[in-house]
Amino acid sequence: MDLLLQFQHILESDPLIDEVGFVHPTQFATLTEDSTGDAAISGGTTFWCRDHKPGVSTQAVLPLYNAAKRAFIAAMEEYKRLGDDGLESEVMKHSKALLLLSSDFGTAWNSRKLVVSKKQQLSMYMGELLLSALVLSCSPKSDQAWSHRRWVIKSITGKCSALQEILGKESELVEKIAERSKMNYRAWNHRCWLVSYMTREQVLHELKKSRNWAGLHVADNCCFHYRREELDWNEMLIKCYIGREQFATNLHDVSSHSELKISTINSFNSFINNELHLLNSCSTVPDNDFEDFQVQATYSATYILWLTKQFSEVWFEFQEKLTRGNLKTMLSKVCPERSFLWDSLID
C-alpha cells in the first residue's frame, strides 16, 4: 500500500480524529515504547496513531504532498470534465489529505466549497468545520482554514437552528488554539468577526471570558485587539505588570475608539482626571537597577502627550489641567536621549 493510501486509510478509519501532527523519525521509537494496546502503528516509522491523534513522519511529508497533489488535480480535472457526482467523493478525499499537508492550498479549499455549495446539506457544512479544525490543529495560523470557517458560518446563517451553539464552540476553539499558538492574530481576528453574529448575551459573555484570558496572558497582545473598552481594567494591569508596552498601546487604541468626542465636558474632565492620576502613579522611578519603572514612566508620559495631540483642538480644558513643564521635565528625565524630540513636540 503506497503512502497516500495508508494516510487516507488512517483518516477514514477513525471519524473521531481531532488532531494531526508531524513527528521526527527519531521519535517513533519512543512513541512505540509508550504505546499501550489501543495504539495503532502503521508503516514502521511513517505513521503513528493513538487516542484519535495520528502522527506523520516529517520525512514522509514531501512525498505524501506530491502524491496528494497529483491525485487531487487528476480528480478535479476529471470532475470538471465529466460533471459526474460520483467523482465528488474523490475530490473531497484527496483535497482533505492535501490540505492537512499544505493548509493554504487555495484550490483545494475552493474545490470543497464547490462540492458543498452544490449539495447544500447541513451535514456537509458541519463536516467542513471538522476538517478545518483538524487543519488548524497542525497549522493554527492558516489564513485559508480560518477563512473557510467563516465561509461555512455565513453559508448556514438563517438555515441552522443551532447557529448560536456553533458560534460558542467557535469561540472556544479560538481560545484553545490561542493557548497553544501564541500571538495568533488570525485566530483572534476570527473571534472578532464572530461577534457580529452573536446575541447580546453572548457578546457580554465573550467580554468576560476574554477579560479573564488576557489577565492570564499579559504578553499576548492579540487579545487586546479583541477589546475596545475597559480603561479601568487596563489601568489595573498597568500597575500590576510594570513596563509592559502592550498596555500603553491598548490605552491609545481604547481612547481613540471611545465615545469621548461626543460626551459631555463633565465626562471628559472625569476621564482626563483619571488619566492624569494614572500618570502620577506611574511616574515614580525608584533608585534601583531595574529599568521597568523607568520604562513605565516613559510609556505613561508619552501616552499623556499623545492625548494632548488627540484632544487639544476640541477640549482646551485639557491644557489647563496638564502642566506642560512637568510633563516635559518627566520625559527628559526618564528618556534624556530623546530630549530634542520632547522639545519639538511640547513647545
pLDDT in tens, 256-283: 544 444 444 455 566 667 766 766 676 6
Same structural domain for residues 172 and 198? yes
How many structural domains is the chain composed of?
3
- Are 153 and 9 in a shared domain? yes
Indicate if 194 and 299 belong to the same structural domain.
Answer: no
215 and 257 share one domain: no
Residue 323: inside a domain, yes or no? Answer: yes
Domain-embedded: residue 232 = no
- Could you tell me the residue range of the domain that residue 246 belongs to? 239-347
* Alpha-carbon gap, residue 16 to 36, rounded angstroms: 19
Task: Based on the fold, state whether residues 10 and 145 are members of the same structural domain.
Answer: yes
Same domain, 307 and 217: no
Domain co-membership, 56 together with 88: yes
On whether residue 234 sits in a domain, the answer given is: no
The grid coordinates of residue 166 equal: 456553533
Do residue 94 and residue 174 come from a single domain?
Answer: no
Could you tell me which residues are beta bridge partners of residue 228? none
Q: Catalogue the E-assigned strands of the chain.
A: 21-23, 40-42, 47-50, 53-57
Among 108, 131, 160, the domain-final residue is 160
How far, in Å, CA of 176 to CA of 180, rounded? 7
How far apart CA 108 and CA 138 sit, in angstroms, is 17
Residues 7 and 26 both lie in one domain: yes
**Shared domain check, 133 and 80:** yes
13 and 112, same domain (yes or no): yes
Which residues of the chain have a pLDDT value below 50? 1, 37-42, 228-233, 242-243, 247, 250-254, 257-265, 314-315, 324
Per residue in 126-183, pLDDT tens?
999 999 999 999 999 999 999 999 999 999 998 999 999 999 999 899 888 988 877 7
For strands 40-42 and 21-23, give the pairing. unpaired
Are 2 and 102 found together in one domain? yes
Point out the domain boundary residue: 160, 182, 209. Answer: 160
| In a domain? residue 246 | yes
